[in-house]
Structure 1
Amino acid sequence: MRTDDDSWDIKTSVGSTALFVAAARALAGRAPDAPARDEFAELFVRAAGPEWVDLLEGRAPEHPLLTPDFGAQFQQHQIARTRYFDDFMTAAAAAGIRQVVILAAGLDSRAYRLPWPDGTVLYELDQPQVLAFKRNTLTAAGHKPIAERHEVAVDLREDWPKALREGGFDPDAATAWLIEGLLIYLTPAAQDQLFDAVAALSAPGSRVAIEQMDPLPAEAVAAMSEGDDSGSEWVSMIYNEPRTDSTEWFAGRGWTGQRVRLTDYIRDLGQTLHSAGPQQQSLISLVTVTR
């Protein structure tokens, strides 16, 4: 169960979800028609321990990520949203934005794998143990970031804008913000506080990409809570409550935006939706707003 002052490393609580998501990206990226690929995802997963290596090598057939219902859908979800946010970053760079902030960066590897123009400065915010795991794993493998990468080790429930500014962030420069796989782990009030901070730090021309999720139906929460360990653990980490729609929140403050349902976006990519099992994908939207 979450508490107001809980913390985590890469293998515990919210941190462990970054590994789970990286494993999904690694597996989904193996498909010949994968809409995106993250060549660093497998590196992170293998560095996490033998049980994760077993998953990648097919020696854990009962793992939730390998099931034909949940696993197939979740892999599709992760690789599709990777494509959406990769395209967002590429478009922001093409528009001349040279400052990027990734909130709750987890095992995001975009600083290392996207073709950033010279002069791009990228800030990654997360718990110190999570950032250290990523840095140590990539350094040991001989990889260097393409953008000028800055770690900001901070809990997003604390005064992260202060930590970001102290890390070199320029509030007068247009910024591309990424809020991926985060909001469901914040209370609705904390989400709105996060949006307030992002808006306050955003110069004209800034853009924000957001993944949002509608609350799970009560019956789905009950089934997960009584089901396998991974589902019940995940439900205990999220705040499954009604919250402000991100597109409407920013629109009400003069931003323009667009929102697409994940299921529609997957179809737009030419992919066939995996229809077996719970339809969690239908609750997820991908949003881009511009100031």
Structure 2
Amino acid sequence: MTALLVAAARAIESHRHDTLVRDVYAEHFVRAASASAGWPVRIQEVADGDANPLWGRFARYFGLRTRVLDDFLLRSVHTSSARQVVLLGAGLDSRAFRLDWPPGCVVFEIDRKGVLAFKHEVLDGLSATPKAVRVTIPIDLRADWAAALADAGFDTTAPSVWLAEGLLFYLPAVAETHLIDMVDRLSTAGSALAFEVKLEKDLLEYRDSPLYTSTAQQIGIDLLDLFNREPRPDSAGDLAGKGWSTSVHVPFDFTRRHGRGPLPEQNDALEGNRWVFANKP
């Protein structure tokens, strides 16, 4: 359901006149699932438009996040020798089909079997063709995904680019630490990683945030029931301690850079969100 929510946000963003990202596949995912078939895929389909906290501000956040992480991935592969891209918890990500990858790129998508099967069904129905070699790995991240990745052809002696988008705040703290540690172990020099975390001390302080209440009321997803509320590890600091160079940003940094996206507001559910970028020398 959360993957469908983000797909709907990408669809809305794609149809804006001032779009930050174009994803022609997103609305097809939304329409193909019975749970989301009635959701909007254009802002014009929302009665209160951009004033709607879910389909306005929150959707624009996901559009901005998509653009920033698109830029990270393309910059990482075009400015280095890295040709392995690993999408952890890939969901309905269509980057293997959307982005202009350099020759020789392999995009590994790791997610649960049911998610990838639905994705295959929709993309096959559209006769979609990936712009890189695409390898799907149907496994839960709680299982031995590293072994499955190796079995699928991942080369630990070559540099790689990793993405954990909208993933870590659903995991227990120990699982986040394990995942980040595993990425470090599997990454050689020249590798890069981007991920998103939430740093609020108490998520329930934002229980009445318009982003959370509107999401629950309009589409029945209570994000605070899905997020893990344990104290979060300092994954950026852990990577720095292992020799990675890291930078941590608030999403609003990129709103100001691109001139589009959410800005801070009162009782803001996005206040603790951070986007982390790391490189292994």
Which TM-score applies when normalising by structure 2?
0.89
Structure 2: distance between partners of 1:275 and 1:89: 26
Structure 2: distance between partners of 1:138 and 1:20: 18
Q: Describe the shift of the 1:210–1:58 C-alpha distance in structure 2 as closer, same or farther (beyond 3 A).
A: closer
| Aligned residues between the structures | 275
- Post-superposition shift, 1:66? 7.0
Residue 117 (str. 1) matches residue 117 (str. 2): no
Residue 250 (str. 1) matches residue 239 (str. 2): yes
Residue 221 (str. 1) matches residue 210 (str. 2): no
Q: Describe the shift of the 1:130–1:252 C-alpha distance in structure 2 as closer, same or farther (beyond 3 A).
A: same
For residue 59 of structure 2, the aligned residue among 69, 75, 80 is 75
- Whether contact under 8 Å (1:101, 1:175) holds in the other structure is yes
- Post-superposition shift, 1:90? 0.7
1:10-55 deviation per Cα after TM superposition (whole angstroms, max 9, x unaligned): xxxxxx1000110011112222112222221112112113852452
* Structure 1 unaligned regions, length at least 5: 1-15
Q: How does 1:1-291 map to 2 (within 5 A)?
A: 16-49=1-34, 51-56=36-41, 61=46, 68-94=52-78, 95-215=80-200, 216-221=202-207, 228=217, 230=219, 233-271=222-260, 273=262, 278-291=267-280
- Post-superposition shift, 1:276? 6.3
- Post-superposition shift, 1:271? 2.1
- Whether contact under 8 Å (2:3, 2:91) holds in the other structure is yes
Helix, strand or coil: the match of 2:148? helix
- Post-superposition shift, 1:83? 0.8
- Whether contact under 8 Å (1:263, 1:281) holds in the other structure is no
Q: Describe the shift of the 1:269–1:170 C-alpha distance in structure 2 as closer, same or farther (beyond 3 A).
A: same
- Whether contact under 8 Å (1:70, 1:278) holds in the other structure is no
- Whether contact under 8 Å (2:30, 2:37) holds in the other structure is yes
Structure 1: distance between partners of 2:188 and 2:229: 32
Helix, strand or coil: the match of 2:222? helix
The aligned amino acid for 2:184 is: A
The aligned amino acid for 1:281 is: L
Q: Describe the shift of the 1:66–1:232 C-alpha distance in structure 2 as closer, same or farther (beyond 3 A).
A: same
Structure 1: distance between partners of 2:34 and 2:266: 29
Q: Describe the shift of the 1:33–1:221 C-alpha distance in structure 2 as closer, same or farther (beyond 3 A).
A: same
RMSD, aligned CA: 2.5
Structure 2: distance between partners of 1:72 and 1:277: 16
- Whether contact under 8 Å (1:103, 1:177) holds in the other structure is yes
Q: Between the two proteins, what is the percent identity of the paired residues?
A: 36
After TM superposition, the structure 1 stretch with the greater mean CA deviation from structure 2, 89-98 or 215-224, is: 215-224
- Whether contact under 8 Å (2:12, 2:43) holds in the other structure is no
Q: Describe the shift of the 1:115–1:60 C-alpha distance in structure 2 as closer, same or farther (beyond 3 A).
A: closer
Helix, strand or coil: the match of 2:37? helix
Structure 2: distance between partners of 1:93 and 1:235: 35
